[in-house]
Amino acid sequence: MGSEGWTLGKSVVLDPIVYARGTTAVMVGIMMGQLGNLFSARSSSQSAFRSNPLRNRWIFPGILAQFVIMVAIAYVPFLQPLFGTASLFPSDLLFLFLLAPTALLLEELRKMLTRRLIQIHS
């Protein structure tokens, strides 16, 4: 973001577009993290890679609806002032979309370590 965003010592972001872009990035980041969590949280101990995501027929329509709503809030001009959002750059989206698999993999790592600790102590 460079010098147009917030820096240490500043109390606010002076450029409203930069602030709105930051708000949008946080919203999309939360949504992507929760998408990773959606798949990993189906079981507290079993790997998400061993479960069939098609067992829940609403999971993919729900994900599609989430993306449609997210795109509308971020990119539809008359919705942007209502939600305080602004369009993100493609590079921002690429980074934010990587949060879903990162959240999934970190949770799967936690589950694997927990299973191993249980085996060791059994």
Judge whether residue 34 has pLDDT over 60.
yes
Report pLDDT digits (tens) over 103-119.
999 999 999 999 899 88
Q: How far apart are the two ends of the chain, measured CA to CA in Å? A: 51
Which pLDDT band, with edges at 50, 70 and 90, does 4 fall under? Answer: low
In terms of Cβ atoms closer than 10 Å to its own Cβ (0-12, 13-18, 19+), residue 87 is middle
- For residues 93 and 28, is the Cβ–Cβ distance under 8 A? yes
* Residue 69 identity: I
Q: C-alpha dihedral over 59, 63, 64, 66, to 10 degrees? A: 140
Domain boundaries, the chain: 14-120
Q: How far is CA 104 from CA 26, 28, 45, 109, 112, in A?
A: 18, 16, 13, 9, 12
Which pLDDT band, with edges at 50, 70 and 90, does 6 fall under? Answer: low
Distance between CA atoms of 103 and 55, rounded to whole angstroms?
A: 21
Q: Any idea what DSSP says for residue 41?
A: T
Return the residue matching tokens 């690429």.
94
